[in-house]
């Protein structure tokens, strides 16, 4: 996947640089398996680079998202740098999606079972994402539903399930139904 996508990287970098100042790659602290902290990589899609005590989740129509960022998010191309996280062993192709540290802490306070999702490496995609449980967690019950899907994935993990999720992810990206 990395080799196939590499020719796109300079074009993505150029689009980001032409539109707004700042780095092309955004990194944010996340927790992986066994709560180990790592820096998750993404192409920068916003005018801000939040990573600390206050990280506001993106919402549909968010004014912080650049024009290039909207395209990158809609096509999931902003996630490509996470392939390096996979190569470094910090992430997997499939697994529970990692959240910013401040959100991990908030969700742990809300849900006693939330930390159970750290039994596996986080993934580029996951069961929650392909079942429509992605994006903002502002709606009541949205984080609960996402955690339930993550735990169902962990409980039922198999190579077949991973392949099914990867196939559904590719179909959603092609159809454009994965956008926030």
Residue-level pLDDT at 138: 65
Residue-level pLDDT at 57: 75
**What ranges do the domains of the chain cover?**
2-175
Residue-level pLDDT at 153: 97
Give mean pLDDT in consecutive 10-residue pieces for the chain, a chain of 180 residues.
91 94 93 95 85 71 87 92 97 95 90 94 94 73 90 97 95 73
Closest CA to 127 of 137, 116, 117: 117
Stated pTM of the model: 0.88
Alpha helices in 34-175 (DSSP H): 67-75, 82-87, 101-110, 127-130, 142-155, 159-175
Residue in the block written with tokens 């984080």: 143
- 37 φ/ψ sector (left φ>0, alpha ψ -120 to 50, else beta): beta
């Amino acid at each position: 996947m990395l080799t196939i996508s590499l020719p796109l990287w300079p074009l993505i970098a150029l689009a980001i640089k032409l539109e707004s100042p700042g780095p092309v790659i955004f990194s944010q602290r996340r927790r992986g398996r066994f709560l180990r902290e790592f820096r998750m990589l993404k192409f920068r899609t916003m005018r801000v680079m939040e990573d600390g005590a206050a990280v506001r989740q993106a919402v549909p129509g968010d004014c912080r998202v650049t024009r290039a960022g909207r395209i990158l998010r809609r096509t999931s191309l902003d996630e490509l740098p996470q392939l390096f996280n996979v190569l470094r062993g910090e992430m997997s192709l499939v697994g529970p999606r990692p959240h910013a540290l401040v959100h991990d802490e908030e969700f742990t306070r809300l849900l006693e079972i939330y930390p159970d999702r750290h039994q596996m490496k986080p993934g580029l995609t996951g069961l929650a994402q392909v079942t429509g449980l992605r994006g903002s967690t502002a709606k009541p019950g949205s984080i609960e539903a996402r955690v339930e899907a993550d735990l169902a994935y962990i409980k039922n993990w198999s190579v077949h399930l991973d392949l099914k999720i990867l196939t559904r992810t590719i179909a959603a990206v092609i159809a454009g139904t994965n956008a926030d």
